[in-house]
Copies of this chain bind each other. A is one copy, B any other.
């Protein structure tokens, strides 16, 4: 497994890789969610690149960039086991040299939900992915559906800027009790870890109401919110039932609908979603 820190070195190495090339972009602190992407990418591509980069530009000034978990040693061991060919671990000033001022902005889609709660977040995500795609020139890049809006934004960018790769998305991986895997779960103390279950329980409630014939999106949202509000450690950021592609909020639930939420558990902001 080759470990590369410089863009120029990776571009040079890229010429020697067998096609097709798979890329799994990550911020490290790898868990089974990431590994599901790595394994699928490994199956589908003779060459596999994984990037580890905690991207400063997708964090707001009051967010958790500084304390975001970093554990490169453990990450490397995991990736070695998965027979990854190349790990790209650039420093921040390699990706963003002084005077850097080139940005990819996706409108519409990227302004809702996470984009509304985290201004500038998707600009940072789109820009860093655009750079990674140009550096690695992958045939396919793999993203998890936990960050479902991120995947939609990246797909829109690739389509509309005519980039030459395919975006593959894979299902959320959950803990046995239903909590969606996330690097931020490491922030939770035991009480918060128990309280965090309310996200998946609320999504499950939403699905059950829909399965039972409820079509009124407002009513389902309210029932979900009520359940979350009963959990003392939880504070709702949003509960959304939206068209799965446009992310326009729905009045009447019709598939494909994305039920998604962002909830603060103590000081930790968690997101989760299901598709109807």
Contact = CB atoms under 8 A, between A and B. Distances in A.
Nearest to A107: B101
Interface in A101-133: 101-109, 126-127, 130-131
Nearest to A8: B162
B101 A162 contact: no
A7 interface: yes
A201 to B, nearest CB: 35
Nearest to A159: B102
A102 B160 contact: yes
Given A11-B164, A162-B7, A101 B134 contact: no
12 contacts: A101-B109, A101-B160, A102-B105, A102-B156, A103-B105, A104-B105, A104-B161, A130-B161, A131-B162, A134-B162, A134-B164, A137-B164
A134 B163 contact: yes
B157 A102 contact: yes
Contacts of A157: 102
Contacts of A108: 99, 101
A267 B107 CA distance: 34
Contacts of A97: 160
Given A104-B105, A134-B163, 10 more contacts: A11-B164, A99-B108, A101-B106, A101-B107, A102-B104, A102-B105, A102-B107, A102-B157, A103-B105, A103-B106
A100 interface: yes
A135 interface: yes
A116 to B, nearest CB: 16
Nearest to A14: B164
